[in-house]
Chain A
């Protein structure tokens, strides 16, 4: 187990390094320039000299390879550099905003899985029945509705029906969990719906596959009662592909979060990212992408551990 974790973490390093390198060169080799954008935003048409001076101040006039080395050296000490725009350390800005994003992510993941596993199982077991159609239509909604729009609509519905809007501010999980939940539940549902729709479809087709498997036929030939066949034989085997999907599609969840924070004015890492993109603040952009990748890799490691816990064929040796 420990060895497995160590090996997996070691394997994550090249991926992370790859992402860092890719993003660095994508941002620095491709056209587009922070300094000019920034100076333009301050008004007027900056002179060539001014731009050059500013670039020199930020160290952008050095050879690319030197900047890259600096960047990697910083990464090794968890230093993601300083924002060109605000001058604040990126890691500080990120840590300030990360909790709210993670809270929404975890909440929507819980909602999505809690909804998807039972619904997918029922739809698969009663394939072709009215309840299966109802669940499938529910799932199709999740696939087709853009999550940011769905977020707007549920917020509007809450407003019209109950004259209620999510509370503002930044309540803490420790001191005011209810207020926090009120603030986060709508965005969590908005992004969780799409995620759960994908999981429902996966679970449903896995259950249908499992029902055609030989071991389920064996279980029936043993004369087991339905609940035992479903609970002991069908569901655990169908969970395996669904768990894999949870890991793969987590990237999609992060993507939706970036947008949904804008809708609900949540001051999370997504807002920071959008701001950085619109200002071409490359240091912040690359810092956030690296943080998001770390989260993605961590979630996938957890998913693999969950998989191994169910499937004895996977050895954590």
Chain B
């Protein structure tokens, strides 16, 4: 049904094998947790938010249930309510029923509930950096629930803690017990959180976005671990996530949430292959994918997500739904189909598969690539000298070309230096060495007046739409200020007209000029950021993670906007992101960075269909995709270990510490970039082996 990625099979041979997920058996396993009609309300001085509305779900032994939805849909609050961790009765109320092995623990007094928490039902949180107490040793924090619930002695607890750390894949567990959280990486801390959750052999584990704060290679490690533990220990796992691809790869069943309600639920296969609710359908279409041919445009859901303060009446999705009718203003029930798939929609979708296979794009326009690049970066280097001694080698001599009228995608995990590339090119930081030639002049050595001219030609769109707009300026003011300062508009009237033009261009209503940033949604703010850049009539826009803070449905809107603007205005983009699917969708040429170096660079087709660097392959293997549901029986490869510190990068090839095919030569020599084609270069001494 879906086209296979060609690199998959080769990778299976060279990388660590992970046991595949087995299908659910026929006789239904024990029902562990069942939640009925959960409602949660928050009240502030002037508002009442009904954030979770009649949510019901259940989890059986050895099963992973995914609760999926966009930000503000109530999924995390649901998980806290199920753990009974919402404790301020003045501002919070929750009602409903939650049974663990048939016993309704919502009815228990607090003291009895406390004995249940951490023993029978445990939780893993989103932020491994802040979820552990910084002042206590790892050993102490793992042992605490054992002291509390199992009444173990210190030495018994230590033995068990070492067992658990081994089980969650931490090497040298005895030493780790005496370490403090700040001495561990994010991935390791999340493993420790898992060990804490497992401390008393719980029956159910709730994991709230357990990998959102982690890099994609670490994400794959953690979720593979959780999955194997679920199978092995026969616990039930509730996985709360916004990432549909993770659902496809790991979950057995899924419930989709929108505006505080479950709008659709069923097995993963049912929901992902035959979505019936129009929201699920829209969401699936909006996800950029690595496993199907690239689409020219992403399908996006129109409009903005509803504010929890003011959910629409009836079906909350109806204002954004293409099939909505008058009847949708009344409340549709969550009704079942024959195979147990349930959805709350009056006009269910029927022809989902048809929509995915239209509008596939032709291959990248090759003429774009042979034209002279608009920006040519050579040997760019940036070192940060720390006050307390030591040097962070953020970028170590990289070469990049941004094609004229095209897009160079720059992708990599956290700490790889991709944002530093943007900041040095924008003169927000001085580069340590290298050149960056734009229209014949070197940006990095430009003088004051030359720089002022360059600043108009090269603009930027930032990641965080919350901090990139001055909170005290109205949108109209923010957009008009640069026009007046640079004399692009002669007076305020001309500027106002131009602001309206810019708002039209980015698809915002004109009256938004009167608003302040805090009165708008994230997607709207990001559009303003783009409009501000466009006001200068730039030729090149540097986009630093411009969609990573946005929800999937909004992300698709913004990516389409970028594509439209490129076609209309002939803009060139340097597009920085950590999400490979996003980069693949938008880029003509893609560069993969790791620890300050470019590992591989090539056209979209070369890099995604014929990746040669082991790191590129590992990244691609780690990224879950919607199509993974069909390949659950196949093994997927994960790369081992943590990212080394950029303060002390490995000698030789920086990737050798995690590379499955590294040899002694990799440890000593820095591999030169090998050109495999005019556009494809790989920094690996084994690049020419197949």
CB pair A221–B180 under 8 Å, yes or no, is: no
Q: Does A44 contact B (CB under 8 A)?
A: no
Q: Does B123 contact A (CB under 8 A)?
A: yes
CA distance A268 to B144 in the complex (A): 51
Question: Of B119, B134, B180, B193, which one neighbours A223 at CB under 8 angstroms?
Answer: B119
CA distance A82 to B119 in the complex (A): 73
CA distance A217 to B135 in the complex (A): 15
Q: Does A74 contact B (CB under 8 A)?
A: no
Interface residues of B in 170-203 (CB under 8 A from A): 180, 182, 193, 196, 199
CA distance A233 to B131 in the complex (A): 12
CB pair A218–B90 under 8 Å, yes or no, is: no
Q: Does A236 contact B (CB under 8 A)?
A: yes
Q: Does B666 contact A (CB under 8 A)?
A: no
CA distance A214 to B128 in the complex (A): 9
Query: Which of chain B's residues have a CB closer than 8 A to the CB of A224?
Result: 114, 118, 144-145, 148
Query: Which of chain A's residues have a CB closer than 8 A to the CB of B193?
Result: 218
Given the known A-B contacts A221-B85, A313-B180, are A237 and B144 also in contact in the complex, defined by CB atoms under 8 Å? no
| Bitwise interface map of A from 98 to 115 toward B, beta carbon under 8 Å scored 1, else 0 | 000000000000000000
B120 CB, nearest partner CB in chain A, Å? 9
Interface of B is mostly: loop
CB pair A310–B131 under 8 Å, yes or no, is: no
CA distance A232 to B147 in the complex (A): 14
Q: Does A220 contact B (CB under 8 A)?
A: yes
Q: Does A33 contact B (CB under 8 A)?
A: no
Interface residues of B in 257-303 (CB under 8 A from A): none
Residue in chain B with minimal CB distance to A217 = B85
Q: Does B58 contact A (CB under 8 A)?
A: no
CA distance A49 to B596 in the complex (A): 77
CB pair B125–A223 under 8 Å, yes or no, is: no
Query: Which of chain B's residues have a CB closer than 8 A to the CB of A232?
Result: 133, 136, 144
Query: Which of chain A's residues have a CB closer than 8 A to the CB of B83?
Result: 221
Q: Does A301 contact B (CB under 8 A)?
A: no
| Bitwise interface map of B from 123 to 149 toward A, beta carbon under 8 Å scored 1, else 0 | 101010011111110000000110011
CA distance A310 to B180 in the complex (A): 12
Residue in chain B with minimal CB distance to A312 = B180
Question: Of A128, A217, A223, which one neighbours B145 at CB under 8 angstroms?
Answer: A223
How many A-B residue pairs have C-beta atoms within 8 angstroms? Tell me.
Answer: 77
CB pair B117–A222 under 8 Å, yes or no, is: yes
Q: Does A215 contact B (CB under 8 A)?
A: yes
CB pair A215–B196 under 8 Å, yes or no, is: no
CB pair B148–A225 under 8 Å, yes or no, is: yes
Query: Which of chain B's residues have a CB closer than 8 A to the CB of A233?
Result: 133, 136
CB pair A310–B117 under 8 Å, yes or no, is: no
CA distance A232 to B180 in the complex (A): 15
CB pair B148–A214 under 8 Å, yes or no, is: no
Q: Does B631 contact A (CB under 8 A)?
A: no
CB pair A310–B118 under 8 Å, yes or no, is: no
B196 CB, nearest partner CB in chain A, Å? 7
CA distance A201 to B182 in the complex (A): 29
CB pair B148–A237 under 8 Å, yes or no, is: no
Query: Which of chain B's residues have a CB closer than 8 A to the CB of A310?
Result: 135
CA distance A221 to B90 in the complex (A): 21
Q: Does B116 contact A (CB under 8 A)?
A: yes
| Bitwise interface map of A from 213 to 245 toward B, beta carbon under 8 Å scored 1, else 0 | 111011111111100100011001100000000
Q: Does B218 contact A (CB under 8 A)?
A: no
Residue in chain A with minimal CB distance to B131 = A214
Given the known A-B contacts A228-B144, A228-B148, are A221 and B132 also in contact in the complex, defined by CB atoms under 8 Å? no
CB pair B182–A220 under 8 Å, yes or no, is: no
A115 CB, nearest partner CB in chain B, Å? 24
B590 CB, nearest partner CB in chain A, Å? 36
Query: Which of chain B's residues have a CB closer than 8 A to the CB of A236?
Result: 135
CA distance A30 to B270 in the complex (A): 86
Q: Does B115 contact A (CB under 8 A)?
A: yes
Q: Does B122 contact A (CB under 8 A)?
A: yes
B1 CB, nearest partner CB in chain A, Å? 41
CA distance A216 to B618 in the complex (A): 36
CB pair B148–A311 under 8 Å, yes or no, is: no
Query: Which of chain B's residues have a CB closer than 8 A to the CB of A214?
Result: 125, 127, 130-131
CA distance A223 to B120 in the complex (A): 10
CA distance A237 to B133 in the complex (A): 8
Query: Which of chain B's residues have a CB closer than 8 A to the CB of A237?
Result: 133-135
Query: Which of chain B's residues have a CB closer than 8 A to the CB of A222?
Result: 117-118, 122, 144-145, 148, 196, 199
CA distance A213 to B134 in the complex (A): 11
CB pair A223–B114 under 8 Å, yes or no, is: yes
Question: Of A128, A213, A223, which one neighbours B130 at CB under 8 angstroms?
Answer: A213
CA distance A237 to B130 in the complex (A): 12
CB pair B114–A217 under 8 Å, yes or no, is: no
| Bitwise interface map of A from 305 to 317 toward B, beta carbon under 8 Å scored 1, else 0 | 0000011110000
Query: Which of chain B's residues have a CB closer than 8 A to the CB of A217?
Result: 85, 125, 131
CA distance A60 to B85 in the complex (A): 73
Query: Which of chain A's residues have a CB closer than 8 A to the CB of B133?
Result: 215, 218-219, 232-233, 237
B207 CB, nearest partner CB in chain A, Å? 12
A307 CB, nearest partner CB in chain B, Å? 11
Query: Which of chain A's residues have a CB closer than 8 A to the CB of B136?
Result: 232-233
Residue in chain A with minimal CB distance to B197 = A221
CA distance A71 to B137 in the complex (A): 51
Question: Of B90, B118, B131, which one neighbours A215 at CB under 8 angstroms?
Answer: B131
Query: Which of chain A's residues have a CB closer than 8 A to the CB of B131?
Result: 214-215, 217-218
CB pair A218–B196 under 8 Å, yes or no, is: yes
CB pair B132–A215 under 8 Å, yes or no, is: yes
Interface residues of A in 186-235 (CB under 8 A from B): 213-215, 217-225, 228, 232-233
Query: Which of chain A's residues have a CB closer than 8 A to the CB of B123?
Result: 218, 221
A224 CB, nearest partner CB in chain B, Å? 5
A40 CB, nearest partner CB in chain B, Å? 53
CB pair A221–B118 under 8 Å, yes or no, is: yes
Query: Which of chain B's residues have a CB closer than 8 A to the CB of A313?
Result: 134, 180, 182
28 residue pairs bridging A and B, Cβ less than 8 Å apart: A214-B125, A214-B127, A214-B131, A215-B130, A215-B131, A218-B133, A218-B196, A219-B133, A221-B83, A221-B118, A221-B123, A222-B118, A222-B122, A222-B144, A223-B114, A223-B116, A223-B119, A224-B114, A224-B148, A225-B114, A228-B148, A232-B136, A236-B135, A237-B133, A237-B135, A312-B135, A312-B182, A313-B134
Which residues of B pack against A, CB within 8 Å? Answer: 83, 85, 90, 114-119, 122-123, 125, 127, 130-136, 144-145, 148-149, 180, 182, 193, 196, 199
Give the 4 A-B CB pairs with smallest separation, nearest first: A223-B118, A223-B117, A222-B118, A214-B130
- Extra 8 A-B pairs, beta carbons < 8 Å, given A223-B148, A232-B144, A233-B133: A214-B127, A214-B130, A222-B117, A222-B118, A311-B134, A312-B182, A313-B134, A313-B180
